[in-house]
Amino acid sequence: MKVAIIGIGYWGKKHVEEYNQLGHDIIICDNDEKNVSECKEKFPFVNVKTLEQLLGDTEIKAVSICTPNETHFQIAKKCLESNKHVFLEKPISTNLENADSLRKLSENNNLVLQIGHLYRFNNSIKKAKEILSDISFGDVHSVYFSWTNFEQIFQNRGVILDLGIHPIDIIDYIFGGNSKNIKCRGWGIRQDNPEFAIINYQLHTTDNRIIFVNIELSWINPIKKREMIVLSNDNTLKVQCVEQTLTLINNLSKNQDEITITPNNTIQDELHFFINSCETQKMISPPYPNSEIAKNILEVVLQAEIENSDKK
């Protein structure tokens, strides 16, 4: 399939590499000539087009959009209106109205709109879902996330929207349900927008349980962590999402069992899933990260941002 990648910065180049591994013809598009030249140097086989050129190319059936958050809606809208299947890196948009517009546009045109909630394709998260659904683990009462790394200073981005989507999406993927009593406090150390934040809320599951969720987000911690800890009265499950390792701990005996899984290439698997959906024209229900799921996750994150703003 002929695939276009719009935006070939750090994340867009990952898409180029994975689409190449999957054997697709690749077109790149970026207004930044430095990004284009760097990409051409690393991947000399790619072709370059402007946005208008690729929108008018009927041979291009699918696009990946890896541009800044604030540009997602307009670019995705143009691609869907040009009859392209769209893989859109998270977030789906920066507001709920635009997210809903993209959902309706993709559905009306019978096009795939997949959002980059990549941890739904992570083997450690899939295994965690399996373990936590087993009655022997016990009823989960709380989940803790630590999502940290050191980042550059951003003029127009905050950590809540940028990092918060993934932990909240993982919770939705594993447990479902509705998020209530959302609280958030964030701080900017080097910039005005939050670089460090704590989000907590109550998850009301479909089987009438309440799970307490606590999320730590940081762009000022040089130790990169993508960690989830899930607790019941009987057991604790610790998941390292990047390393894709799981440790099951018996709360009483303190015995620890390392759960063996085969780590996967999460980005490649989500892009393969996207292309397969484009080719089969099948809109797969959850865990497929479609526009409806993405909008629901965005709503929780935006509510956290509002909660934080109210405290200033």
- Per-residue pLDDT tens digits for 138-169: 999 999 999 999 999 888 889 999 999 999 99
In a domain, 292, yes or no: no
Residue 286 has pLDDT above 90, yes or no: no
In this structure, are strands 235-240 and 196-204 parallel, antiparallel, or unpaired? unpaired
> What is the tally of structural domains in the chain?
2
State whether residue 241 is helix, strand or coil.
Answer: coil
Residue 69's φ and ψ, nearest 5 degrees, are: -50, -45
The confidence band for 283, taking pLDDT boundaries of 50, 70 and 90, is low
Question: Does residue 151 sit in the same domain as residue 272?
Answer: no
Residues 108 and 87 both lie in one domain: yes
In a domain? residue 78: yes
Q: What is the CATH number of the domain that holds 137?
A: 3.30.360.10
Percent of the chain past pLDDT 70, that is, above it, reads 97
The predicted structure's pLDDT at residue 34: 96
Do 136 and 243 reside in the same domain of the chain? Answer: yes
The rounded distance, in Å, linking the Cα atoms of 111 and 126 is: 26
Indicate whether 11 and 98 sit together in one domain: yes
* 26 shares a domain with 107: yes
**Are residue 302 and residue 166 in the same domain, yes or no?**
yes
Q: How many CB atoms are closer than 10 A to CB 81? A: 12
2-26 pLDDT, tens digit each: 999 999 999 999 999 999 999 999 9
- Average pLDDT in the 174-200 region? 94
**Tokens read off for 81:** 């209106």
Q: How many CB atoms lie within 10 A of CB 309?
A: 12
* pTM: predicted TM-score of the whole model, two decimal places: 0.95
**Together in a domain, 257 and 129:** yes
Q: Is 56 found in the same domain as 139?
A: no
Please answer whether residues 147 and 167 qualify as being in contact, where contact means their C-beta atoms are separated by less than 8 angstroms. yes
State mean pLDDT over 103-130.
Answer: 96
pLDDT at residue 99 greater than cutoff 80: yes
In which domain, by residue range, is 194 found? Answer: 119-264+298-310
